C-alpha cells in the first residue's frame, strides 16, 4: 500500500460523535414512543431538509468575514448563502410561511432530527445533536398551550420517566410584565436585572435575591454584584410573586399570584390565560404532580411572547465522581408569535415544546430507566469446518425465522477467538454444531450470559450450575426452546 | 410589521425537499422493518456524524478554487476542511480504521440516515436523501457476501415487496476478468468497451451487443459507435457468458459459466466464490426466485473487487403519463477490499448492500404496497363554546387513552371551517359535543370516511346509508366503540 505519511488519519471532526448500538437503541425507543404520543394528540410528522437559506434562518446572517458564526454556512453555486439548521423552529416558520394557504389551520406538527451548531465543542457539548419538537401554529388559544404541556408530560412518561420524576413548570411572560408594572419597573436595564435576580432564586434563596433586587450583593469571594435598585416594597412584591408557585394546587398558585399583581392590565391577561390552561389541563387529566405554575421560571422569557414551559427532572442524581447533582431541565418551550411574521408580515400565533433526545436518554439513565439495556448481540454459531457451512447457515436461518438474532462466525480464527467475538458482541449464547453433533442430531449450547454473571461474581456458582448448566448438549429440535430460556432469564 | 421588501422569501434551498406525514410514515415503516431484519442477522446499528474531514472522505478533496465539487464542504475554524458525507460507506471505513483494535471482528453494522451530494438537482433528483446500508468488514469469506444477499432479500420482503416482485442479481468481477482473459482482451480500453457493450444487452439484445463487441454499430439515427474490436470467436464467448444467467437454477448458471471461462485462473477463483455463495444461500433457504447469478450485471464492477449484487424490481410499472416503464434497480452492493486500507495501509476485506429509502418507498408504491396508506388524521372534536372546553378536553383525553388519535379544534373559526379542517387532516370522524348533547349524556359522530367515499362515488349511497349512518347521535359511553368501527371499516 501507499506511503504511510500519505495516509489520512482516521478521526471524526471535532464535536461530532459516533453512536453505537446501545445509545442508538435508547434514542430510537424514545423517538418511537414519543412519536406515538404526539400522533395520538393529532400532530403530524414533518421533515424539512438539513439546509435553509441563511436569510430564512434569520438569526445568524453570515457575513463575508465570519460566514460560520454560530452556524455551518456555505455559499451555493448560485451565490446564495445556505446554512445547516440550528434548531427545528426556524425551518418550521419557513415551511408554514411557504405553504400557509394550503395547510390545515391550526397546523400541528412534530419533527425530530439532527441540528447543527458551529460552537466550541466541550465535554458533553456537541456540534450536532438530535432534537424533537412539537408545535401548533395558528392558534392563539391558551388551550393550545395546554395541549402542548399535556403532550410533553405524556411523552416524558411514555419515554419512561415515572410520575414524580419530572414536572413541567409553567409561567407566562405577561405575568412578569404585570409584576414589573406593579413593582414600578420601567427601564429595560432594571427589568433585566430583576429577571436575572429571580433566576438565581434556586441558588441564593429569597434573602440573596432580595439583595440583588435592591442595592446589590457581595458574595463569599467579596465580589459585588450591583442590584436592580428596587425599593423594599417592590422587592417584597417580586419575592411574593416568585413564592406563589409553592402554594399548592394550580388554582391556589393563581390566586396567590393574583393577590400580588391583580389589577395590572397585562397581569390580568396572563392570569386569564393561565386559568384557561388550568381548566384544559384538568380536563385532560394532567395533575399537579405533572404540571405546575411556577412564577420563578424566567428562562427564555425574552424569546417567548406568552406562556413558557420548562420540563425539569426532579430526581437527585450523581455525577461521575459520585457527587449529588441536580439534573435540571430536560426540555422546554412556550408561545412565540413573531417567527412566521418575519416572512409574511402577519403575526401568526404559535406555541411549542422541544427536547434534546440524548439529554432525555441521559435523564432516563439517571432515573434507572435506560432504554438501551435491551440491546444485545446475536446468538453466535461457531464455525469449525468449511464443509459444514451449509448446516450452520440452515441453523441460523431457523433461529432467525423464530425471531432469534443469530449469525455464523465468519472470521478466519479458531475456537478461542470465536468465543471472544461472541463475548464482545454481548451474545447471550454460542451454539456448537461439530461433526459429532451433526451426526447425532444434537447441538451444544454455551450460556454466555451465565458465564458473564459468574465472572462478575453476581451469583453463586454451584447453585446456578445445578439448575442452569453453562454448557449442554441437547437434541437439535430443542434448541429454540433452550435459547429462549437463556434470552428470557 | 416591517417593510415587505426587507422580508426574506420563504423557500427551501434548491434540491432539498420537505416531507409530510404520508411519505414519512412509509419511510419510517421501511426502516423499522428492515432494521428488525438486519438485527436478526446480527448486524449492529451505528450512527456517525454528518461531517467527515475531507481527507477522510477521500474521493472529493476540496481545493481552494472549487471547494464544493460534488460535496458540501466548508473550512472549520482550525482551517481543516470538512464535508457532509456523500454516502455511508466512507464514514464506515473511517470508523473501522479508527477503532479497529477494539471492534468485534468481523464487524457487522447497519446504518441509515441522510447523505448529501452537491450536484445539480432535477426532477426526482435531490441533494439530500436517506440511505440504508449494511456491511461486514473483516471477513474475506464468500459466505459473508451470501449473508448480505440473503439479508437484502429478506429486508425487501419485510418492507413489503412480495416474492416475484424483485430479484437480486449476483455477479463477480473475477468472472469478468476470467472472461476477458479467455477472450484475449488485454488493454484497459478494450476491456471498458466490452463492459459497456455487455451493459447494453437489455436494450440492444445479443445481435446489437455482438456488433459493439466487434467492429461497431450504427444506430437508427445513423450515428456510429466504434466497437471493442473482438474477433467473432471472442465475441461469441462473451455472449455465451452473458447468456449463462438465463440457464435455470443457480448451479446450472455456474455450470454454463464454467463451460465458457473454466480454466482461466481468475475465472476459476470467481466460480469457486460463487459456488460457496450458492451453498450458503441454499442453507439459508434463499431460492432462485429471490437471488440468481447473472453474468450480464456489470454495473459497479470497476468499484467492487469481487462479488457484486443488484436488487431489481421485476414489476412492470407505469410512469406519470401511463406509459409502461421498467422500475429497475432498488439497491445494490458488493465486495470492496480497499476502503479501509486508505487509512491503515492494510487491505481489509469488506462487503455490503445499500438502498435509497425514498426509492424503495416508490418501488413499494409501484408494487401497490404503499406503507404510508395507514397514515391518517385524528378524530376532531368540534369546538362550539369556550365554556365547554373542559368537556371537550376530557373527551379527547378518553379517546387518546383508548389509543385513538384525537384533538379539539383550536382555531378561531365556525362549524364549516372546522369540518373543512377535519377534511384536510384526513380525519376519519368528527365528534360534536354541543350543549344539548352534554345535557343528555350523548355525543354526535360524523363519519367523514363515509363522506369521502360517497363523494368519490366508490359506493352506493343508499345501501351505505342504511347500514352505516353518516351521522348518528349515540350515548356517550358508546363513542369509542362507534369510532373503532369507523377506523376499522
CB contacts, 8 Å: A424 with chain B? 103-104
Residue-wise pLDDT for B233-262, tens only, equals 999 999 999 888 776 799 999 999 999 888
Give chain B positions within 8 Å (CB) of A48.
Answer: 12, 16, 18
Q: Where is average pLDDT lowest: A349-363, B15-29, B73-87, B322-336? A: B322-336
Peptide bond into A106 cis (omega under 30): yes
Of B476, B489, B485, which is closest to residue B381 (Cα–Cα)?
B476
Interface of B with A in 413-432 (CB under 8 A): 421, 424-425
Q: Does A146 touch chain B (CB under 8 A)?
A: yes
**Interface list for A 82-101 with B (CB within 8 A):** 82, 84, 94-95, 97-98
Q: Give the integer Cα–Cα distance in Å for B202 and B296.
A: 9
Q: Is A74 on the interface with B (CB under 8 A)?
A: yes
Question: What pLDDT shows up at residue A312?
Answer: 94
pLDDT attached to residue B466: 56
The fold of A14-50+85-165+314-375 is BirA Bifunctional Protein; domain 2 (3.30.930)
CATH class of B379-488: alpha beta
Under a CB-based contact definition with an 8 Å cutoff, are residues B339 and B316 in contact?
Answer: no
- Note whether A404 contacts B: Cβ–Cβ < 8 A: yes
Residues of B within 8 A of A345 (CB-CB) are 1-2, 4, 7
Q: What are the pLDDT digits (tens) for B112-132? A: 999 999 999 988 889 999 999
The CA dihedral of A337, A304, A334, A85, to the nearest 10 degrees, is 80
Q: What is the pLDDT of residue A61?
A: 47
A402 touches chain B (CB under 8 A): no
Decide if pLDDT at B68 tops 70: no
CA gap B434, B129 in Å, rounded: 47
Q: Which of A8, A48, A77, A95 to mutate to test the interface with B (most CBs of B within 10 A)?
A: A8
pLDDT at B62: 44
Q: How far is A467 from chain B (nearest CA, A)?
A: 29
**Cβ-Cβ contacts under 8 Å for A318 (sequence gap 6 or more):** A324, A325
pLDDT of residue A65: 53
In the predicted structure, residue B27 carries a pLDDT above the cut 70: yes
For residue B1, name the pLDDT band (cuts at 50, 70, 90): very low
**pLDDT of B78 strictly over 80:** yes
pLDDT at B64 > cutoff 70 = no
B170-201 pLDDT, tens digit each: 999 999 899 988 888 888 888 889 988 998 98
R_g over Cα of chain A? 29
3-state secondary structure chain A: CCCHHHCCCCCCCCCCCCEEHHHHHHHHHHHHHHHHHHHHCCCEEEECCCEEEHHHHCCCCCCCCCCCCECCEEECCCCCEEEECCCCHHHHHHHHHHHCCCCCCCEEEEEEEEEECECCCECCECCEEEEEEEEEECCCCHHHHHHHHHHHHHHHHHHCCCCCCEEEEEEEHHHHHHHHHHCCCCCHHHHHHHHHHHHCHHHHHHHHHHHHHCCEEECCCCCEEECCCCCHHHHHHHHHHHHHHHCCCHHHHHHHHHHHHCCCHHHHHHHHHHHHHHHHHHHCCCCCCCEEECCCCCCCCCCCCCEEEEEEEEEEEECCCCCEEEEEEEEEEEECCCCCHHHHCCCCCEEEEEEEHHHHHHHHHHCCCCHHHHCCCCEEECCCCHHHHHHHHHHHHHHHHCCCCEEECCCCCCHHHHHHHHHHCCCCEEEECCHHHHHHCEEEEEEHHHHHHHHCCCCCHHHHHHHCCCEEEEEHHHHHHHHHHHHHC
Range B64-86 average pLDDT: 83
Q: How far apart are CA B177 and CA B191, in angstroms?
A: 9
Q: Do B7 and A49 touch (CB under 8 A)?
A: no
Note whether A45 contacts B74, CB cutoff 8 Å.
no
The average confidence (pLDDT) of chain B is 89
* pLDDT at position B225 over 50: yes
User: Is the pLDDT at B66 greater than 70, yes or no?
Assistant: no
pLDDT at B454 over 90: no
Q: For position A460, what pLDDT does the model report? A: 57
Per-residue confidence in pLDDT tens, chain A, 489 aa: 456 778 899 999 999 999 999 899 999 999 999 999 999 999 999 999 999 999 888 764 444 455 557 899 999 989 899 999 999 999 999 999 999 999 999 999 999 999 999 999 988 889 999 999 999 999 999 999 999 999 999 999 999 999 899 999 999 999 989 998 888 888 888 988 998 899 898 889 999 999 999 999 998 898 999 999 999 999 999 999 988 877 679 999 999 999 988 888 999 999 999 999 999 999 999 999 999 999 989 877 778 899 999 999 988 777 778 787 788 899 999 999 888 898 999 999 999 999 999 999 988 888 888 877 656 899 999 999 999 999 999 999 999 999 999 999 999 888 899 999 999 999 999 999 999 999 999 999 999 988 777 776 655 556 555 555 688 999 999 999 999 999 988
Region B296-312: what's the mean pLDDT? 87
Q: What percent of chain B has pLDDT over 70?
A: 93
Whether B56 contacts B90, CB under 8 Å: yes
Residue A296 confidence (pLDDT): 87
Mutant choice from B147, B283, B395 vs A, greatest count of A C-beta within 10 A: B283
Q: What is the ipTM of this complex?
A: 0.91
Cβ separation A50–B53 shorter than 8 A? no
Residue A62: the pLDDT is 44
The DSSP bridge pattern shows strands B350-356 and B324-335 to be: antiparallel
Q: Are B115 and B129 in contact (CB under 8 A)?
A: yes
Q: What is the pLDDT of residue A66?
A: 54
Determine, for residues A139 and B412 on separate chains, whether the beta-carbon distance falls below 8 Å: yes
Q: Do A283 and B407 touch (CB under 8 A)?
A: no
Query: How many inter-chain contacts (A to B, CB under 8 Å) are there?
Result: 295
B350-389 residues touching A, CB cutoff 8 A: 377-378, 380, 389
Residues of B in contact with A11 (CB under 8 A): 53, 56, 94, 98
- The full 3-state SS of chain B, as one line of letters, equals CCCHHHCCCCCCCCCCCCEEHHHHHHHHHHHHHHHHHHHHCCCEEEECCCEEEHHHHCCCCCCCCCCCCECCEEECCCCCEEEECCCCHHHHHHHHHHHHHHCCCCEEEEEEEEEECECCCECCECCEEEEEEEEEECCCCHHHHHHHHHHHHHHHHHHCCCCCCEEEEEEEHHHHHHHHHHCCCCCHHHHHHHHHHHHCHHHHHHHHHHHHHCCEEECCCCCEEECCCCCHHHHHHHHHHHHHHHCCCHHHHHHHHHHHHCCCHHHHHHHHHHHHHHHHHHHCCCCCCCEEECCCCCCCCCCCCCEEEEEEEEEEEECCCCCEEEEEEEEEEEECCCCCHHHHCCCCCEEEEEEEHHHHHHHHHHCCCCHHHHCCCCEEECCCCHHHHHHHHHHHHHHHHCCCCEEECCCCCCHHHHHHHHHHCCCCEEEECCHHHHHHCEEEEEEHHHHHHHHCCCCCHHHHHHHCCCEEEEEHHHHHHHHHHHHHC
pLDDT of B122 reads 87
Amino acid at each position: 500500500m501507499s506511503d504511510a505519511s500519505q495516509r489520512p488519519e482516521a478521526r471524526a471532526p471535532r464535536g461530532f460523535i459516533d453512536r453505537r448500538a446501545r445509545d442508538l437503541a435508547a434514542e430510537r425507543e424514545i423517538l418511537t414512543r414519543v412519536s406515538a404520543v404526539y400522533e395520538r394528540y393529532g400532530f403530524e410528522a414533518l421533515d424539512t431538509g438539513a439546509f435553509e437559506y441563511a436569510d430564512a434562518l434569520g438569526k445568524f446572517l453570515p457575513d463575508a468575514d465570519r460566514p460560520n458564526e454560530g452556524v455551518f454556512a456555505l455559499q451555493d453555486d448560485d451565490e446564495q448563502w445556505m446554512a445547516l439548521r440550528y434548531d427545528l423552529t426556524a425551518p418550521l416558520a419557513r415551511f408554514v410561511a411557504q405553504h400557509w394557504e394550503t395547510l390545515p389551520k391550526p397546523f400541528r406538527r412534530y419533527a425530530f432530527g439532527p441540528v447543527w451548531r458551529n460552537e466550541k465543542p466541550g465535554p458533553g457539548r456537541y456540534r450536532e445533536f438530535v432534537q424533537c419538537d412539537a408545535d401548533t401554529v395558528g392558534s392563539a388559544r391558551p388551550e393550545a398551550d395546554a395541549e402542548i404541556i399535556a403532550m410533553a408530560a405524556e411523552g416524558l412518561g411514555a419515554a419512561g420517566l415515572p410520575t414524580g420524576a419530572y414536572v413541567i413548570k409553567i409561567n407566562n411572560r405577561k405575568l412578569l410584565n404585570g409584576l414589573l408594572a406593579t413593582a414600578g419597573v420601567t427601564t429595560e436595564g432594571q427589568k433585566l436585572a430583576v429577571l436575572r435576580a429571580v433566576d438565581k432564586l434556586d441558588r441564593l434563596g429569597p434573602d440573596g435575591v432580595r439583595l440583588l433586587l435592591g442595592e446589590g450583593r457581595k458574595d463569599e469571594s467579596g465580589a459585588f454584584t450591583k442590584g436592580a435598585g428596587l425599593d423594599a416594597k417592590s422587592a417584597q412584591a417580586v419575592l411574593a410573586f416568585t413564592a406563589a408557585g409553592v402554594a399548592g394546587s394550580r388554582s391556589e398558585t393563581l390566586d396567590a399570584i393574583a393577590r400580588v399583581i391583580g389589577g395590572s392590565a397585562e397581569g390580568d391577561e396572563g392570569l386569564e390565560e393561565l386559568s384557561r390552561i388550568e381548566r384544559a389541563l384538568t380536563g385532560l387529566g394532567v395533575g399537579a404532580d405533572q404540571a405546575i405554575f411556577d412564577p420563578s421560571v424566567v428562562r427564555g422569557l425574552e424569546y417567548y411572547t406568552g406562556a413558557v414551559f420548562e420540563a425539569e427532572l426532579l430526581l437527585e442524581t450523581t455525577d461521575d465522581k459520585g457527587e449529588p447533582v441536580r439534573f435540571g431541565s430536560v426540555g422546554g418551550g412556550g408561545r412565540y408569535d413573531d417567527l412566521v411574521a418575519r416572512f409574511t408580515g402577519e403575526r401568526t400565533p404559535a406555541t411549542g415544546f422541544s427536547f434534546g433526545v440524548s439529554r432525555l436518554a441521559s435523564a432516563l439513565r439517571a432515573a434507572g430507566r435506560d432504554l438501551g439495556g435491551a440491546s444485545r448481540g446475536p446468538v453466535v454459531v461457531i464455525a469449525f469446518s468449511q464443509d459444514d457451512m451449509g448446516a450452520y447457515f440452515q441453523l441460523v436461518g431457523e433461529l432467525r425465522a423464530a425471531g432469534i438474532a443469530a449469525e455464523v462466525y465468519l472470521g478466519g480464527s479458531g475456537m478461542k477467538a470465536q468465543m471472544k467475538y461472541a463475548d464482545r458482541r454481548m451474545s447471550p449464547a454460542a451454539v456448537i454444531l461439530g461433526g459429532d453433533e451433526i451426526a447425532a442430531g444434537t447441538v451444544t449450547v454455551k450460556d454466555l450470559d451465565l458465564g458473564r454473571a459468574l465472572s462478575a461474581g453476581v451469583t453463586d456458582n454451584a447453585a446456578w450450575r445445578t439448575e442452569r448448566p453453562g454448557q449442554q448438549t441437547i437434541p437439535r429440535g430443542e434448541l429454540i426452546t433452550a435459547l429462549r430460556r437463556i434470552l428470557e432469564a
